[in-house]
Amino acid sequence: MSRPRSLSPKNKLTTFRLTQAEQEEMRASAEKLGFRTISDYIRHLHFLTKNSDSKNVAVNFHQNHPVPTIKPFLKTKHGEIIHGNSLGYLLNAAEPKSIDLIMTSPPFGLVREKSYGNEDADAYCEWFRPFAEGFRRVLKDTGSLVIDIGGAWNPGKPTRSLYHFKLLVMLVEEYGFHLCQEHYWWNPSKLPTPAEWVNVRRVRVKDAVNTVWWLSPSPWPKASNRRILAPYSSSMKALLKDGYKAKLRPSGHNISDKFSKDNGGSVPPNLLAIANTESNGTYQDFCREQGIAIHPARFPAQLPEYFIRLLTDPGDTVVDPFGGSCVTGAVAESLGRKWVCCELSEEYLEGAKARFTSGYAALPRERSSPYCIYQPCALPVDDGDAPLFEDGGKKRPEK
């Protein structure tokens, strides 16, 4: 390895130049130790060095993120926005076991870097560890952790990364969380992506679903699905009107006469159909007028509303450690919950101010439009007219 050269006496940054032979030697060493890439090997060395002075990794987390790393940005009737790294809040500022719900959408482990600072999929779990430690520290035993997280595609291949599944396993097996139930957020308005595999080579279908992990420190978080009922279908309304004869179903389920009781609505499935189509409104208009960047990865207000209603009471505390433009905070404010949103980007927080001005509607007023999911293979196609790609789409079709 060549001698390090100082780039700047002021900040004492150094760089190392490797010859081609040294790079190959380093790659071989990484592979010998079981690492897929040099990047994985370097990350491993970094975390070993970072934690070598302490027997308790959690202690380092606390020391590395003191309260001064965060500062108040905006206060409202029920909550507040905090500017800075949320680890300062989760690991130090917040009281232990004081939070009822953490509702968040962290930066996804995407392969291609985004403007809002997503983490490399391969390093995602390691990056997430201090947040997991903070979540365990602040959540009540009856509280819940809800993580909206999108999947990722492996570079250059029509195959999926497992990073979000690995995250789930880590949270359960290493940090003691319990998986209460997985949800799937279906965005009906999502464009056909990834275009290369869906539209060009046509070997995959549109990726339009995010996984939403609902976890808790205990198997018994407080919850009630009576808070989130959906309208009855027309067939169920007819059944309630005409009555239902108790009988044994072909599946073996014994449906009693209690099935015909009107409970005010139906229990919704764990598939959440919410179109993310908001492109105009108070928030966007404010950002454009002020020349502020519009956060590119906002989730729709109905997503946090669903979980806030399901899992918290008025007066409970909701936290979003990756606040972005503070959609979670605006919804919690409108529902009478205490809340805290943390965000690193001050520019995104400047835009978030619009969500707490008079006249801003945190929740959609109109919800009557249903979404249609067609049954599989709803359009008849002759197999001969659409032959399979024998190479799985490996060869890109000519234009």
- Residue 23: how many other CB atoms lie within 10 Å: 11
Catalytic residue at 369?
Answer: no
**Phi, psi (deg, nearest 5) at residue 191:** -70, 155
Q: State the distance between the two ends of the chain, measured CA to CA, in whole angstroms.
A: 47
Catalytic residue at 334?
Answer: no
Question: Left, alpha or beta for 318 (phi > 0: left; psi -120 to 50: alpha)?
Answer: beta
Distance CA 90, CA 94 (A): 6
Catalytic site residue from 86, 106, 130, 221: 106
Catalytic site residue from 86, 105, 144, 216: 105
Catalytic site residue from 148, 207, 316, 320: 148
- CA 182 → CA 93, 165, 210, 341, distances in Å? 30, 11, 10, 24
Catalytic residue at 39?
Answer: no
Pairing of strands 247-248, 338-343: unpaired
* Contact between residue 277 and residue 306 where contact means Cβ atoms under 8 Å apart: no
List, as one string, the DSSP characters of 303-316. HHHHHHHHH--TT-
Q: Which residues pair with 247 in a beta bridge?
A: 255
* Contact between residue 125 and residue 288 where contact means Cβ atoms under 8 Å apart: no
User: What does the block give as tokens for 224?
Assistant: 């009630």
Catalytic positions, written as ranges:
105-106, 148
